[in-house]
């Protein structure tokens, strides 16, 4: 049985027992004479050691969606606050302001909740670049709550609320799906220098 010239770097080489390779298994080529050397490659376009990883595309999509949702929630919260204040002012001028005070308080409470969700989404989107695994877990919680609240749109019974529910489910689903895959785990667990 011949394995070729032992001095030929391009010929078949026999494994050497006792060096971590079983008898007959071929060793991987060693860098040096006759073998091209390539720089080590990190996942997601890192290229060379110390070079930063780039954020995966699905993560960038989720980040953009968080900013869009947060901005829209902020806008709707401001509009709702103006509407509740105007309605309370009108009720007070008619003389029934005391009876509608509880409804106005409930309206402002809902505005506060909407503002809290808006700030939460914007902060999460901002933390994607440097955040750790806690940002990923918090984004999963946010997306889950967003999906549950989107399901409430279907209770409205109108076509416009159903369309809003479908859009909300799609956005929440994309954000949630981007957080539970392996690229998100790799991104948020990457070493930060």
Give the tens place of pLDDT for each residue, 45-103: 444 455 457 888 889 999 999 999 999 999 999 999 999 989 888 888 877 767 777 88
Tally of structural domains, the chain: 1
Q: Which of 7-16, 87-96, 104-113, 142-151 has the lowest mean pLDDT?
A: 7-16
Quote the mean pLDDT of the chain: 80
What is the pLDDT at residue 144? Answer: 95
What is the pLDDT at residue 46? Answer: 47
For residues 129 and 143, is the Cβ–Cβ distance under 8 A?
A: no
The kind and range of the H/E element at 75 are helix 57-94
Q: How far, in Å, CA of 153 to CA of 168, rounded? A: 9
Which domain, by its residues, includes 176? 57-188
Residue 12 located in a structural domain: no
């Amino acid at each position: 049985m011949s394995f070729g010239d032992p001095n030929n770097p391009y010929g078949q080489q026999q494994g050497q027992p006792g060096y971590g390779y079983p008898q007959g298994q071929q060793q991987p080529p060693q860098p040096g004479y006759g073998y091209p050397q390539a720089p080590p490659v990190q996942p997601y376009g890192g290229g060379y050691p110390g070079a930063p990883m780039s954020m995966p595309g699905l993560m960038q999509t989720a980040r953009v969606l968080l900013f869009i949702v947060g901005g829209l929630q902020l806008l709707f919260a401001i509009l709702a606050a103006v509407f509740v204040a105007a309605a309370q002012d009108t009720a007070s001028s008619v003389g029934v302001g005391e009876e509608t005070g509880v409804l106005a308080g409930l309206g402002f409470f809902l505005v506060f909740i909407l503002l809290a969700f808006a700030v939460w989404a914007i902060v999460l989107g901002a933390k994607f670049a440097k955040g750790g695994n806690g940002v990923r877990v918090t984004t999963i919680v946010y997306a889950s709550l967003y999906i549950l609240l989107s399901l409430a749109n279907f209770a409205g019974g109108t076509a416009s609320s159903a369309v809003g529910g479908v859009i909300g489910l799609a956005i929440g689903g994309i954000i949630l799906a981007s957080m539970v895959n392996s690229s998100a785990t790799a991104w948020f667990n990457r070493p930060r220098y």
